Structure formats: structure tokens, C-alpha cells
Amino acid sequence: MDLDQALQDRLDFGLVCCLYANNRTHRCVQGCRFLAPWWQWRPRYLHNDLPWQFLIQYNNQLSKLDLYTLQNTHTNIPKLQAGKMGAQFWAAYVPCDTQGKDAVKRTLEQIDVVHRMCDDYPDVFDFAETVEAVSLISDIERAFNNSKIASLIGVEGGHSIDNSLATLRTFYKLGVRYMTVSHSCNTPWVDNWIVDTGSDNADNNGLSDFGKIVIKEMNRLGMIVDLSHVSVKTMRDALDVSTAPVIFSHSSAYAVCKHARNVPDDLLRVVKEKRGLVMINFYNDYVTCNQKANLSDVADHFDYIKKVAGIESVGFGGLPVGLGDVSTYPDLVAELLRRNWTSQELHDALAGNFLRVFREVEQNLASTRADDTVLEYEKIKTSCHTSYGYEYEENAAVRQHLGLGLLLLCLLLSLIH
């Protein structure tokens, strides 16, 4: 009997044998522990950049690939299944050089490719898109209980909305449930993490006034605020402004690896106070601050954030560089078990914490009127932007100045005569 069948047979007793060394051979080794049911600790809500690979390798032509046999990526269907993936946040990412150009178009294409992927593999992926909070959570649980991968979308970078609250709202209607406030570039309303390295200017001193409006509009919609990739000042501003818990979708502990993409201790404590979540990144540079990292190094970040911010603030983040691919997540679980993490702590880190944040964000949404604030034209003006809507304001100002000029001229002429 293979291990999966053995696990299924033992679910009623809430037992699972966790593999320490080689989960793919279905071989139990020394260190098996009792856990409450297997389904409870399948990894959920991991940030996944597979849609970007669709673009750069196939120009989003899914007809040219088979997700069962796709290679040269961390993710394909067999790897997802071997890794016991329960849900994924597929990243709709476009680079910073699209800012002020075709960022919205490109982001829409990445949102579209996620929808098409789910349509092409309906037995594997279940897209969760219901607007209502309770129904959306039900969508996720339905997918999970049907042994499908619940699929959601995160937009990775505030430049994707092109300084438009209307675009933000439209993304939400298309299934986007979190947005990373910046990527590796400033926008006219938010500063990115490179500011803290001294290689970029603090154009907004964190969040500008419009940036704070963006956070509030995300709160109103029920869209999760993601603070990975932002400057420390932006982290502080967003944590102060947001009325709902925030997440760091793929960040680690600054005290363990002093990289500007990671979260410092004082803000880890604020995350705890605000009931937020740090989903730990597995990228080598952010784990060990060099090109080499292993599973134990990643686990060090889990231990540290649990110690500083509490288990309720710990989650699983990005792709497992240093672990191999998505099929190896059970190995990390086994490492945490070896470090005496309890079954409840694993459940919380793998699933419970994010579900709790998701519920609280959705419960925080408001039925108030959408914010129609617009950013001043001078801050968004490029050769790719028209001035429709702004023309009236500009022309009115010109007319006002001309009127004052004529009045002064008449006064001057009357004095002369």
C-alpha cells in the first residue's frame, strides 16, 4: 500500500506519518509524528510566479505547453501534487519598465492567463472568485475538499494600476485578492525597498497622501495589502493606515538576513499587534544573504519570526529556491517537526493564519461609496498618457489667470487715463 492510500485510510484517526527525508519515494523514516488530519496542513496561499514563466517562455500561448510535462520551472502539475499544494496565489507580475506605458494591458494579460490555465485544467485548479466573503472562503474550501488547488490572483506591484483607483477596482472584479503595493521601483505614490539600500530616492517618504487612499480603497474592497518589496517607511505607513490585517507575501526576517527585502524586528511586533502575516520567502539572497541556502536556513526564519511575532504571524511564502521545487514542501514541514513545532503550529502556518487574515480582511470591507480621488496630472504625465478629464481643470485655471490678467490690465489703463 502506498503512503497516500495509507494516509487516507488513517484520516479518521487524525494520524499522518510525516516524511523526513524523501517524500517522493513514499518511504517513512525515523521521526514519524502524529498530526491532526493530513488535509489540514497541505500548504495554502503560496506566492507563485508561474504565470510570468508562461509569458517569457511561451508568450502566454498555453496551447504550446502541457502543465503535466512542463520543465524548466519550479512548478508543474505533478510537482504541485507531490508538494500537496492546497491553494496558490498566482502572481500577475509585470516588470517595472512597463510603468507609465503598457502596465495595465500587460497585467490584464497575466490575469487572463491564470483564468485560462484554470479553464484548461479544470480537474486540477478551481478558481476562487466570489465577491462575498463567506462564499469566497467556501469556494476555497470546496476546492480543497475536492482535492483541487484553489487558485487566486495577486497583482505584484502597484505600478500595475497606473495610478488609478478605477483600475484597482476592476482588478478586484477580475479576481485579484491581494496587491503588492510596490515592486522594485517607486510609483508616484509609494516608495519601494531599494530606497533603503540608498540606490533609489525616497520620492514619497513612504506612502504619499494618494498612496494612503489606495490602502484605504483596498480595505474598502476587501483586497489584501501586501507589503513585500516596499521600503521600511512604507511598511510603517501602511501598517498605520490599514484598518485590516496586512501580509508580506514573500519576505523573511531582517535579523536573520540583513537584506532590505526582509522585515525588521520592530515591524514584526507591529505585524503581531495588527494581526498580520509574514509569509516567509525561500529565495537564497533573502534567506542567507548569499547565493547558497538550504532547508535548515529557511527553517531558521520560521523559528525566528515565530519567536518575535508569534505563531499567528507566520506563513509559507514564495517558491522553494534551496528546496528544489514545489514538490519538496513536505520536507520543510518535516524539518519544522524536527524542531518541535506542534501539529497546531504547522496547521496555522500552512493554512489557518492566512484563512484568518483573509476572513478579517473580507469582514473589514465597507459598503461605502468608492473613492474617486485622482492623482494630479503632473505626477502621471508621460508621452503615453492623455489628459482627458484634466483638460477642463487646466483650461479653467488658464481662463482664471487670463481673467485676472485682463482685470489688472484694465486697472492699469484706468490709472494711466
**Structural domain contains residue 387:** no
Question: Do 25 and 64 fall into the same domain?
Answer: no
Question: Do 14 and 47 fall into the same domain?
Answer: no
**Structural domain contains residue 411:** no
Confidence class for position 39, pLDDT limits 50, 70, 90: very low
Question: Do 30 and 46 fall into the same domain?
Answer: no
pTM, two decimals, is 0.85
**190, 183 in Cβ contact below 8 A?**
no
* pLDDT, tens only, 332-345: 889 999 999 999 99
Confidence class for position 13, pLDDT limits 50, 70, 90: very low
Q: How many domains does the chain have?
A: 2
In the chain, DSSP finds a helix count (H) and a strand count (E) of 16, 9
Question: Do 15 and 110 fall into the same domain?
Answer: no
* pLDDT, tens only, 24-34: 333 333 334 43
Q: What average pLDDT does the structure give for the chain?
A: 84
The rounded percent of the chain whose pLDDT value lies above 70 is 80
Domain, as residue range, for 265: 39-377
Question: Do 206 and 120 fall into the same domain?
Answer: yes
Question: Do 264 and 149 fall into the same domain?
Answer: yes
Handedness of CA 64, 114, 149, 180 (dihedral sign): positive
Of 260, 249, 344, 258, whose CA–CA distance to 304 is shortest? 258
**Structural domain contains residue 289:** yes
Question: CATH no. for residue 103?
Answer: 3.20.20.140
Looking up cell 480603497, which residue turns up? 217
Question: Do 271 and 134 fall into the same domain?
Answer: yes
Asked whether residue 405 carries a pLDDT value surpassing 60, the answer given is yes
Asked whether residue 399 carries a pLDDT value surpassing 90, the answer given is no
**Structural domain contains residue 56:** yes
Confidence class for position 38, pLDDT limits 50, 70, 90: very low
Residue 139's Cβ-side half-sphere holds a number of Cα atoms within 13 Å equal to 18
Rounded Cα gap, residues 155 and 171, in angstroms: 8
Confidence class for position 233, pLDDT limits 50, 70, 90: very high
Roughly what angle, to the nearest 10 degrees, separates helices 232-241 and 265-273?
A: 10
**What was the pLDDT predicted at 173?**
94
**What was the pLDDT predicted at 82?**
83
**What was the pLDDT predicted at 406?**
65
Question: Do 259 and 210 fall into the same domain?
Answer: yes
Question: Do 116 and 17 fall into the same domain?
Answer: no
* pLDDT, tens only, 91-107: 999 999 999 999 999 99
Question: Do 9 and 135 fall into the same domain?
Answer: no
Question: Do 168 and 277 fall into the same domain?
Answer: yes
Of 311, 351, 353, 316, whose CA–CA distance to 36 is shortest? 351
Rounded Cα gap, residues 261 and 184, in angstroms: 10
**Structural domain contains residue 394:** no
**What was the pLDDT predicted at 130?**
61
Asked whether residue 397 carries a pLDDT value surpassing 70, the answer given is no
**Structural domain contains residue 205:** yes
**Structural domain contains residue 134:** yes
Rounded Cα gap, residues 281 and 261, in angstroms: 10
The rounded percent of the chain whose pLDDT value lies above 90 is 61
**What was the pLDDT predicted at 30?**
38
Return phi, psi of residue 397, to 5°: -65, -40
Residue 63: how many other CB atoms lie within 10 Å: 8
What is the separation of C-alpha 146 from the centre of its chain, rounded to a whole number of angstroms? Answer: 25
- Concatenated DSSP letters of 160-229: GGTT-HHHHHHHHHTTEEEEES--SS-BTTB-BGGGGGTSS--SSSSB-HHHHHHHHHHHHHTPEEE-TT
**Structural domain contains residue 390:** no
Looking up cell 483600475, which residue turns up? 167
**What was the pLDDT predicted at 18?**
37
* pLDDT, tens only, 193-230: 999 999 999 999 999 999 999 999 999 999 999 999 99
* pLDDT, tens only, 268-309: 999 999 999 999 998 889 999 998 888 899 999 999 999 999
Rounded Cα gap, residues 79 and 325, in angstroms: 7
Confidence class for position 3, pLDDT limits 50, 70, 90: very low
Asked whether residue 318 carries a pLDDT value surpassing 80, the answer given is no
Question: Do 216 and 283 fall into the same domain?
Answer: yes
**What was the pLDDT predicted at 25?**
35
